[in-house]
Amino acid sequence: SPLHSLLVALPKCEHHMHLEGSLSPELLFRLAAKNSISLPQSDPAFESVESLYARYAAFTSLDDFLGYYYIGFSVLLTQSDFEELSYTYLSRAASSNVRHTEVFFDPQAHLSRGVAVSTIIGGFQAASQRAETELGISSLLIPCLLRHLPVENSAACFGEMLSANLFSSQGSGGVLAGLGLCSTEIAKPPSVWKDIFALAEANGIRRTSHAGEEGPAEYVAKALDDLHAMRIDHGVHAADDEGLLEKLAVQKIMLTVCPVSNVRLRGVDDIKEVPIRRFLEKGVRFSLNSDDPAYFGAYIQEVYCQTEDAFGLSVDEWGMIARNAVEGSWCDDTRKGEIL
Ligand code: ADE
Ligand code: ZN
């Protein structure tokens, strides 16, 4: 498309990228060797970089992907592992004119392996500061609670982060910019995490939640009503409910949409089925994101270009998408002003 060079030059913000989802097969095998971690012998996908990429190209669902995603976690042990992972992502994002990014991570799945939140934060912060100085990209970090674990495990993990004053709203220079919720969705309605999100709100912590990826529009509504989510991650099934779309538009709730992820996890058969046009018609704000780029074979630049190829958006529409992405970011107004 003639718009591809414009889409490269466009100043971008990313709001939906799981740090662990940027672990490439190459880095996975290298860190496994360095840290003496054994990978599942019984799964032929782990025979080589190539076989692992081939398996990633054949995901059948969110849960099928998550199985591989959590195995990938096992190779991440030290602060320098997290620093390398973070800097590799940030430099790639910066090279695609991503000016600001908000990165998710899953603390519970590291705590259960004996890796402390401070190890992850330390590695991310070192990379974040270096990338900001050297490449001009700003970055924030957002922990996601995990829906496949008992809610008590979420409560304990959130309680620890709160007690340690890790959130930026807590006034002591905390590095965590907000709270998220992710992992398997079906049969895990947002309401279960209501008390934890209420405690977050009481502490001035921003809130976002995965919803409407595989789950119904009702889960998106619950994320708004029960979690007071300020953004919705994915949100594609919100398109099934006219009233909900109006509410999202009126309340200026931004959806962090991940069209290539939706294709790769078989939420849609074709990227053209992602309700991008519907969101535009209804005035629902959204940003475009990579989700787990190393697993889905597309970083944000490819996501922008594949979206353009599918929908043929106008220059004005792209300008609006880029502005909404800046506006929906959780950086301060000064930083927003620098980006646009
Ligand atoms: N964790 C990492 N990627 C995810 C996704 N697409 N949905 C839910 N949880 C996730
Ligand atoms: Zn996600």
**In this structure, are residues 290 and 261 in contact, taking their beta carbons and an 8 Å threshold?**
yes
Query: Binding-site residues for Zn(2+), please?
Result: 16, 18, 210, 291
Pocket residue to mutate for ligand 1, from 65, 186, 188, 256, most atoms within 8 A of Cβ: 65
Q: Counting atoms of ligand 1 from 1, which one is nearest the CA of 18?
A: 2
Residue 340, pLDDT score: 86
Q: Counting atoms of ligand 1 from 1, which one is nearest the CA of 106?
A: 1
Domains and CATH numbers, the chain: 4-339 (3.20.20.140)
Closest CA to ligand 1's atom 1: 183
Catalytic residue list contains 213: yes
Residue 287, pLDDT score: 99
Q: Counting atoms of ligand 1 from 1, which one is nearest the CA of 20?
A: 2
pTM (two decimals) = 0.98
Pocket residue to mutate for ligand 1, from 16, 257, 292, most atoms within 8 A of Cβ: 292
Closest CA to ligand 1's atom 6: 291
Segments in the chain below pLDDT 50: none
Residue 160, pLDDT score: 98
